Structure 1
Amino acid sequence: MLAVAVAVAAGGLLWWGAQGRAPHLATTQARGDAVIDESAAEIAPVQGNAATAMAAATARDSLRGTVADGAVHLDGKGHPIADRELRRLFDYFISRIGERNEQQIRADLLAYLSARLDQGAVAQVLAWFDSYVTLQRSASTLAGEGGDPRAAVVRLRGLRAQRMGEQIAQAWWGDEDRYLDYTLARQDVLADASLSAEERARRLGELDQSLDPSRQALRREEDAAQRTLAQSEDYIRRDVPAAQRYAEREQEYGAQAAQRLAALDRQRAAWDGRLRDYASARKSILSDTRLSPAQRESRLSELLAHRFDATERLRVDALARNDLLPR
C-alpha cells in the first residue's frame, strides 16, 4: 500500500520510467479553451485554428481524433495561470512519449500555444512545460530508488517545490497531497494492533471527518468498491458460478448493480485471457535465441502495440516490468 501511495504522490509521473515504451493516454474529453479574467470571473472563447494543427500532429498516433484535454487560462492582464488545467494540457501532450520524442512533443505544444497566445504568454507556458518535463524525469528516478516510501514522498514534494515553485506545486498537487496524507494516516490506524475495535473505529471516523465533503463521498465510494472487489476475488477463488454470483449480488446491492458487476466479471475474464495470450507470446520472443537484442526489443514493442491500446499498454508494461504477468 505504501508503494501505491508513492505512485499516487507522483501524480501520474511514473510512466516516464517506462522509457517511452508505453504512452499513457490522458482523458480526451473536450473541455474547451478559455481566457479567464480573474477580476471579472468571466469566461470567453479563445479564437484560433489550433484544431487543424492538432489534427495534423496526431494523425498517425494514439491521439488521433481527440481534442486537447486541459486548457490555458489567462488572468485579467493576459498572463497565463499555472492551474490544474494547464497541467492537464501538459499531460495530454506528454502522453505521446514513445510515439514522438521530447523535441517533437514540445514543437507540437508550441504550435498549439502559438495559435492561442501572444509570444510572451507562449514563452512562459513553455518555460513551465520544460520544468515539468525535468520534474517528471527526476520523479521517475525517485520512484525507482526503493527504500522508505514515506521518505520518497517527502523527497518528491520537495522536488516539486524546487522545480516548479511552492505556489505551482500547491496548485497542481496540493489536493492530492492532502488526500495522500489522509490515506497514510488511515493506513497507520488500520495497522496499529494496539487499538481496540472501538478506538480504531473512532480514529477512522475522525480522519474521515477531516476530509472535505467531496472527498468524504469519494471515500465512501472507495469503501464500497473495496467490498465488492473483495467479494469478486472470493468468487474467483471459489469458482462460484455466474448465476449464484448474480443472485447474491442482487440480494445485497440490487438488480442494476448485480448486472453491472456481472458485466465487470465478463470484462475481467476477457482481460485475463488477453494477458495470458500476450504473456505466452512475449515469453516466446524472449526465449528466441535467434533474435538480437534490438530485434527482440522491436518484436516486444510491436507485440504490445498490436495487442493493446494506449491506455492498456501502460498497465501491461507495468505488469511486465514487475514480473506480474500470468505464467
Structure 2
Amino acid sequence: MKKSAWVVLTLMIALGGAGAVFLWRQPAEIQPVKLQAPSQQDTEIDESSGRDLLEYALSGLGETDLNHLQNEIGTYANENDQLRVDDTLFAQYVRYKKALAQLTLPDTSQNIRERLMALNDALLALQSEYFTPEQQAQLFGDENRWRQLAIDKLDIQEHALDEAEQRSQMVQINAELPDYLQKSERNATMVTALIAADSQSEQNRYLRRAELVGESGAQRLAELDSQRASFKAQLDDYLQQRSEILADEQLGEQEKEQQITALREQYFDPVQWRRVEALERIYGQSE
C-alpha cells in the first residue's frame, strides 16, 4: 500500500514547509503584471523568496500557459536580481514538482521517527536529482531544517535520561538554528504552552501565562478570554432566538429573513455581522 504524494506534501507543510503566500491589497492599487493570471490580479506577487515566487507563478497554471509562465518568470526575475531565479530554474522546479507528485512511500508499521526519516531521505534524494546543493539550500533550506529539527527532537525524547536532559538538549539544537528560525521555534513552543494552559484553572492559567508572556500579556489574554466568553453567551442567545424564528410556521420566508436581520442588528455591531453570518451557516450545518 502506498502513501500518496498529497500525504507527503501535507507532512511537509505540517513540519514547516514553505508555500506560496498571497498578500492582498486594495483593488485601487492593482497594477496588472504579465506574470499574473487573471485570478491573481487582486494579489501582490510573492517575492518573500525565490521559491515563493516560483510557487506563486505555478498557482496561476491552468489560466496561463506553462511556456508563457517560464518566459515571464525569466523577465520578472531579471528585473529583481535579489530573487536569484530564472527561467531555467523555473523549468527545473516544474520537473521537480511533477516528480514529487509521483513520490510514494511504503506504508509500514515503523514508528513515527522511522517514517519521518524515510520521508526526509526521499525528499533530499529527489531534491539532489534536480538541483545543485546551492539551489537546494536556496529553495528548500528552511523546510529541510524544520524536518531535521523534528527528527532531532524525536531522538531526544527517545534517548534523553530525564526531562532536565531533554530541555538541555533541546536548547542546544535550537541554538544551532539561524536567528530567525530560533525566533520561530520559540514562538511555536510558546503558543503550544499557551494552548496547554487553557485547560488549567483560571488562577493557574493566569500564572502560567505570566511566565510565558509577562504580566501585561497575561492581562491582555485574560481580557480576551472575557470578551470571547461574552461573545459566546451573546451568540448562544441569538442563535436560540433565531432557531425559534426559523421554526415558526406562521412566518413566510421573507418575514423570517427580516426578523433574523433585525435580531442580528439588535445583538451585534455592524463589524460583527459577517462573522455572525458565517457562524450561522456553521451552526445550521451542525444541526
**TM-score normalised according to structure 1 size:** 0.49
1:212-257 deviations in Å (ceiling 9; x for gaps): 333333322221111012234x37xxxx9xx999967876654555
Using the alignment, how far apart are the partners of 1:8 and 1:250 within structure 2?
25
Aligned to 1:225: 191
Q: CA deviation at 1:132?
A: 0.7
Determine the C-alpha separation between the residues in 2 that align with 1:10 and 1:199.
Answer: 25
Identity of aligned residues (%): 15
In the aligned structure 1, how far is the partner of 2:173 from the partner of 2:167? 10
One-letter amino acid of the counterpart of residue 58, structure 2:
I
Q: Secondary structure at the match of 1:142?
A: coil
Q: 1:154 Cα shift?
A: 0.8
Q: Which has the higher helix share?
A: 2
8 A Cα contact 1:69 1:88, kept in partner: yes
Aligned to 2:50: 86
Map of 1:17 onto structure 2: none
Q: How much has 1:172 moved relative to structure 2?
A: 1.7
Aligned mates of 2:173, 2:148 — CA distance in 1: 10
Q: Structure 2 residue aligned with 1:52, among 18, 32, 38?
A: 32
| Alpha-carbon separation, structure 1, partners of 2:164 and 2:16 | 34
Structure 1 runs not aligned, ≥5 long: 13-23, 31-50, 72-84, 119-123, 271-325
Q: C-alpha offsets along residues 63-122 of structure 1, whole Å, 9 cap, x if unaligned?
A: 232221128xxxxxxxxxxxxx3222111112235xx25x6254245346446749xxxx
Higher-Rg member (1/2): 2
Correspondent of 1:205 among 149, 171, 189: 171
What TM-score do the two structures reach when normalised by structure 2? 0.54
Per the alignment, residue 166 of structure 1 pairs with 133
Cα deviation code 1:174-229 (max 9, x no counterpart)? 3432343223111221233x612333233223223322333333322221111012
Matched-pair contact (CA < 8 Å) for 1:249–1:258: no
Residue 136 of structure 1 corresponds to which residue in structure 2? 97
In 1, the alpha carbon distance for the partners of 2:169 and 2:126 equals 32
Provide Cα deviations, 1:120-164, integer angstroms capped at 9, x if missing partner: xxxx82232122122123223336754533112111111111112
Say if 1:247 and 1:171 are closer, same or farther in 2 by CA, change over 3 A.
Answer: closer
Counterpart position of 1:195: 161
Q: Distance in 2 between matches of 1:201 and 1:250?
A: 19
Q: How many residues align?
A: 207
Residues in 1 aligned to 2:72 and 2:152: alpha-carbon distance in whole angstroms: 44
- C-alpha contact (below 8 Å) 1:54/1:112 kept by paired residues: no
1:52 counterpart SS class: coil
Distance 1:186 1:165, change over 3 A: same
Amino acid of the structure 1 residue aligned with 2:140: W
Kept after mapping to 2: 8 A contact 1:160/1:169: yes
Query: Is the CA contact (8 Å cut-off) linking 1:29 and 1:69 kept in structure 2?
Result: no
